[in-house]
Chains A and B, each alone.
Chain A
Amino acid sequence: MEPAWVALGLSLKVALWATGIDLVLGVAAGLALARWRFPGRELVDSILLLPMVLPPTVLGYYLLVVIGRRGWLGGWLERSFGINLIFTWQGAVIAAAIVAFPFVCKSARAAFENVDGQLEQAARVLGLGAAAVFFRVTLPLAWRGILAGVLLAFARALGEFGATLMVAGSIPGKTQTLSIAVYEAVQAGQDELANGLVLLTSATCVVILLLAGRLAGPRIPGRA
């Protein structure tokens, strides 16, 4: 069972990093889409939503082409900094972050759009600066909606399989996350290991859902 715990740890690490990145980028993108009027806004929104709709293999292929050693970004990274993302856990984080991004972005946009503009105006009238209005009024009001999206993103990142396998491969202890370890155990006919892995995965998901229920429970976080 030891490989299973290693895979679990790796899955959690990848999913946490991916969710953290999505939290920052998704909230920023959601805010921009909710507040700015610019031509092509809905087109941008659709493009940002694409990772949710596209098959993971398509994303995996895009990523290989872009961040691979021969890709324009990957090639530049390697020449300039000696960074290689393919077959690394950081590559898995990028794949998971992209796949889970729409969950944060979409719910953040909806949450910001639901914030009552009069409350922000009142805060401004009372002398708060733009940053203070955002962090003390807008964000607390939108936080519940964002949190729901973040939890969904974390769940999606934890279960990510297709794009991750294409980009990061399946290296035990390095890039072999739980979902990939399950796939491999089944392919190799190691049913005992597969049983352990799926039970562990299921238990982890139940714990996360329970935590999510408590976090996003009836009270409104940020107002306490």
Chain B
Amino acid sequence: MTRLARTIRRALPALALALAAAPAMATDLTVSAAASLTNAFKDIATAFEAANPETRVQLNVGASGALLQQMAKGAPVDVFASADQETMLQAEQQQLVRPGAKADFAGNALVVVVPHDAPAPPKTLADLAGPAVKKVAIGLPASVPVGRYTRAVLEKANLWAPIEARLVGAQTVRQALDYVARGEVDAGFVYATDASILPGKVKIAFVVPTETPVVYPIAALAAAPNPAAARKFVAFVLSPAGQAVLAKHGFAKP
């Protein structure tokens, strides 16, 4: 037998033990969270794991609409945190979330951001229809809540049709932010909390008041593989400890 083979044979039991032992030590909790919650929920997961060492949080971030489709197709998710009420309502209608299970846990604001070195940033929504602006990034309204808020605001101002041709759709709010940070677009609609994670690259041109307030709901799923831990996680997010983390990341009270 070669030396390599001997080494592998000796290592095998240890490897098998490691693989078998890992799931036995902790239970997994899968949390699907809106992309804008990425940084805040990473911190919340760390704090939750510190308080509940027996649970390991698996964070799955994406556009709320895309997360909904994953769950609707049977993805084993325990907790869902959406960036808008609309997506959570759809989850309720598809019986993924029991009525009354959701709770609002955070608020945010819609803002228009521009690259940090933009010479003459737009000051109003109407400026976005002006000649100085060629491309505007928005979340895709079909699956990204920030895009839905944006469309509602632009339609209300009768600006959707004039601006539509210069809109670049993003798969998540963070992608819209990245397009602005790279200077590939002249402006983008994101949340205030997103704008603050890239302070050297983007700046807020103006805050956009929304008719529907930006309020995030969270819920344990009806078919959560790990219902007890799911309820615990939701309670943790709503607790003062969880709220403090969200406040640190710039989220408002719901």
Report the minimum CB–CB distance from A179 to chain B (whole Å): 14
Judge if B184 is at the interface, Cβ distance under 8 Å. Answer: yes
Report the minimum CB–CB distance from A211 to chain B (whole Å): 33
CB of B184 within 8 A of CB of A189, answer: no
Interface residue from B135, B142, B168, B185 paired with A187 (Cβ < 8 Å): B142
Q: What sequence of 0s and 1s flags, for each residue 172-215 of chain A, a beta carbon within 8 Å of any chain B beta carbon?
A: 00000000000010111110000000000000000000000000
> Which chain A residues lie closer than 8 Å to B66 at the CB level?
187
CB of B168 within 8 A of CB of A171, answer: yes
Once the chains are docked, how many angstroms separate the CA of A188 from the CA of B139?
12
Judge if A64 is at the interface, Cβ distance under 8 Å. Answer: yes
Judge if A68 is at the interface, Cβ distance under 8 Å. Answer: yes
Once the chains are docked, how many angstroms separate the CA of A198 from the CA of B107?
38
Interface residue from A68, A171, A187 paired with B182 (Cβ < 8 Å): A68
Judge if A102 is at the interface, Cβ distance under 8 Å. Answer: no
CB of A70 within 8 A of CB of B182, answer: yes
Q: What sequence of 0s and 1s flags, for each residue 51-79 of chain B, a beta carbon within 8 Å of any chain A beta carbon?
A: 00000000000010110110010000000
Which of chain B's residues has its CB closest to A191's CB? B69
Judge if A69 is at the interface, Cβ distance under 8 Å. Answer: yes
Given contacts A170-B171, A187-B63, A187-B171, contact A69 B184 (CB under 8 A): yes
CB of B168 within 8 A of CB of A188, answer: no
Residue pairs across A and B with CB atoms within 8 Å: the count is 50
Which of chain A's residues has its CB closest to B179's CB? A169
Judge if B169 is at the interface, Cβ distance under 8 Å. Answer: yes
Q: What sequence of 0s and 1s flags, for each residue 107-151 of chain B, a beta carbon within 8 Å of any chain A beta carbon?
A: 000000000000000000000000000010000101100000000
> Which chain A residues lie closer than 8 Å to B171 at the CB level?
165, 170, 184, 187
Once the chains are docked, how many angstroms separate the CA of A70 from the CA of B184?
8
Report the minimum CB–CB distance from A221 to chain B (whole Å): 42
Interface residue from A69, A169, A171, A184 paired with B143 (Cβ < 8 Å): A184
Given contacts A68-B182, A69-B183, A69-B184, contact A189 B65 (CB under 8 A): yes
Report the minimum CB–CB distance from A88 to chain B (whole Å): 11
Once the chains are docked, how many angstroms separate the CA of A69 from the CA of B182?
8
> Which chain A residues lie closer than 8 Å to B63 at the CB level?
187
Once the chains are docked, how many angstroms separate the CA of A68 from the CA of B182?
8
Judge if A87 is at the interface, Cβ distance under 8 Å. Answer: yes
Q: What sequence of 0s and 1s flags, for each residue 68-89 of chain A, a beta carbon within 8 Å of any chain B beta carbon?
A: 1110000000000000001100
The size of the chain A interface, using a CB distance under 8 A, is 16
> Which chain B residues lie closer than 8 Å to A190 at the CB level?
142
> Which chain A residues lie closer than 8 Å to B179 at the CB level?
169
Once the chains are docked, how many angstroms separate the CA of A70 from the CA of B135?
15
Interface residue from A64, A68, A187 paired with B69 (Cβ < 8 Å): A187
Once the chains are docked, how many angstroms separate the CA of A184 from the CA of B179?
18
Q: What sequence of 0s and 1s flags, for each residue 178-192 of chain B, a beta carbon within 8 Å of any chain A beta carbon?
A: 010011110000000
CB of A189 within 8 A of CB of B72, answer: yes
> Which chain A residues lie closer than 8 Å to B68 at the CB level?
189
Given contacts A87-B135, A170-B140, contact A186 B69 (CB under 8 A): yes
Report the minimum CB–CB distance from B31 to chain A (whole Å): 19
Given contacts A169-B168, A187-B69, contact A70 B183 (CB under 8 A): yes
Which of chain B's residues has its CB closest to A74's CB? B184
Report the minimum CB–CB distance from A176 to chain B (whole Å): 9
Once the chains are docked, how many angstroms separate the CA of A64 from the CA of B182?
9
CB of A170 within 8 A of CB of B183, answer: no
Supply 12 A–B pairs (Cβ within 8 Å), ascending by A: A64-B184, A68-B183, A68-B184, A69-B184, A169-B168, A169-B169, A170-B171, A171-B169, A187-B63, A188-B65, A188-B143, A189-B68
Known contacts A70-B182, A170-B171; 17 additional CB pairs below 8 A are A68-B182, A68-B183, A69-B183, A69-B184, A70-B183, A87-B184, A169-B168, A169-B169, A169-B170, A170-B169, A171-B167, A184-B143, A184-B171, A186-B69, A187-B143, A188-B142, A189-B65
Closest 6 CB pairs of A and B: A188-B142, A187-B66, A188-B143, A187-B143, A86-B184, A69-B183
